[in-house]
Amino acid sequence: MKYFNVIPALLTLVLSILSLVKCQNVCNGYSGLCDRSYTNITYLVTHDSYAVGRNIAATQNFPIIDQLNQGVRGLKFSAVAPILDRAAVHLCHTSCSILDAGPASGVLDTIAEWLDEHPREVITIMWNNLYNMKAGRLANVYSASKIMPYIYTHDSSKPWPTLNEMIDSGKRVVNFVDSQADEKNIPWLMDQFQLVFETPYENTDQNSFKCTIDRPSTLKSPDGHMYVMNHFLYGTLKLGNIEAQVPQRDSATVTNSKSLREQIAECTRTFGKKPNFIEVDFYDDGDAMEIVSELNEVPWVKLAGVIETPISTPPVATKAQFPWIPTHIVINNSALKEGIQTLKILYLSLVIAAFNF
């Protein structure tokens, strides 16, 4: 009789050891990635990761936590001071009056909680520092959040660690900023363009993606740098003599499949290495996840059971409900000068578009 009591306990023990072993052998979801250097892996990055929902400036269908749950491992953020609270730092798209995802510290807290629950994941945060905020100000945003214990500091005299080494050290969040880095005082907020270049980001059709070094403009050779391959589209909205560029949600399925494969092949040839970061809009449309798994030479598993949990963001807009939702808006300033009348038309059109959904 006694044996029968022992068997379940033994089974539980064996199972927990097994799951522990399994768990320890997995890095970013795959054992095959554990011994690879951070720099020898392709990460899917969401462009303006926090720009979600029923908004004129939304670039993603799902909130950040869903993105992370589904395998996104790079986040692109813009820090903006809201007009009514100049001391604050929010995540906004271009301007906080267009899209405001709230205080950046709050978003970092949410990410820290996700990291607590996912101890074997390494992620990257890239700041598009549109308004040239001082590094110290961005660092204060981090200090005010729960994410600091996870922040990785790179020693430039050493090679990059493997994912396993990063996970073992607990330092699993890599941070880059594209302007105003101050590595002397804030070494962990790395100067992106010293280490990572980008391909052009203002693309308007499937044929416009190029494999050239766009930023930093002074960099001549891809050697010694990682790179971001930008692969999202802006459409062109013509209003009289004014052109406004808006993103193309409708074509994301194509943009994130065939067209994505083509640019990857071309950039891999041109630069002699696979992209480290592939930055997309509406990452869940198309095959971006599958393509990144292929690049990493790991089997792709569709996470069918993932629950899409809206966090503190607006409701998720589906394509069926909102067939045309513009996002990033780029206005040709020289055309704007041609007349206040056309400016009014543009403004009206955008307002109408915004309120139409």
Ligand X SMILES: *[C@@H]1O[C@H](CO)[C@@H](O)[C@H](O)[C@H]1NC(C)=O
Confirm or reject binding of residue 268 to ligand X (CB under 6 A): no
Torsion of CA 204, 210, 215, 221, to 10 degrees: 180
Amino acid at position 75, single letter: L
Cis upstream peptide for 247 (omega within 30°): no
As measured in angstroms, the least distance from the Cβ of 296 to ligand X is 8
Strand partners, 75: 46, 125
Extract the tokens encoding 31: 């054992």
As measured in angstroms, the least distance from the Cβ of 106 to ligand X is 37
Q: How many residues bind ligand X (CB under 6 A)?
A: 8
81 CB neighbour count, 10 Å cutoff: 16
- Alpha-helical (H) ranges within the chain are 2-24, 64-69, 104-117, 135-143, 163-169, 192-195, 252-255, 258-271, 288-295, 333-336, 340-356
Candidates 304, 334, 355, 356; binder of ligand X (CB under 6 A) is: 334
Candidates 72, 335, 346, 350; binder of ligand X (CB under 6 A) is: 335
Among residues 5 and 333, whose Cβ is nearest to ligand X?
333
Amino acid at position 165, single letter: E
As measured in angstroms, the least distance from the Cβ of 345 to ligand X is 14
Among residues 298 and 354, whose Cβ is nearest to ligand X?
298
Give SS3 for 92. Answer: strand
As measured in angstroms, the least distance from the Cβ of 179 to ligand X is 22
As a whole number of angstroms, the distance between CA 93 and CA 56 comes to 10
As measured in angstroms, the least distance from the Cβ of 276 to ligand X is 11
Among residues 265 and 331, whose Cβ is nearest to ligand X?
331
Among residues 31 and 37, whose Cβ is nearest to ligand X?
37
Strand partners, 186: none
What is the per-residue binding string for ligand X in 235-264, x denoting contact by CB under 6 A? ------x-----------------------
Q: Which of residues 35-54 bind ligand X (CB under 6 A)?
A: 36-37, 40
Q: Which of residues 274-333 bind ligand X (CB under 6 A)?
A: 297, 332
Task: Give residues with Cβ within 8 angstroms of 69, minimum separation 6.
Answer: 303, 306
**Are residues 67 and 283 in contact, defined by beta-carbon separation less than 8 angstroms?**
yes
Among residues 221 and 334, whose Cβ is nearest to ligand X?
334
Among residues 37 and 321, whose Cβ is nearest to ligand X?
37
Q: Which of residues 123-182 bind ligand X (CB under 6 A)?
A: none
Using CB under 6 A as the criterion, which residues of the chain lie in contact with ligand X when the complex forms?
36-37, 40, 241, 297, 332, 334-335
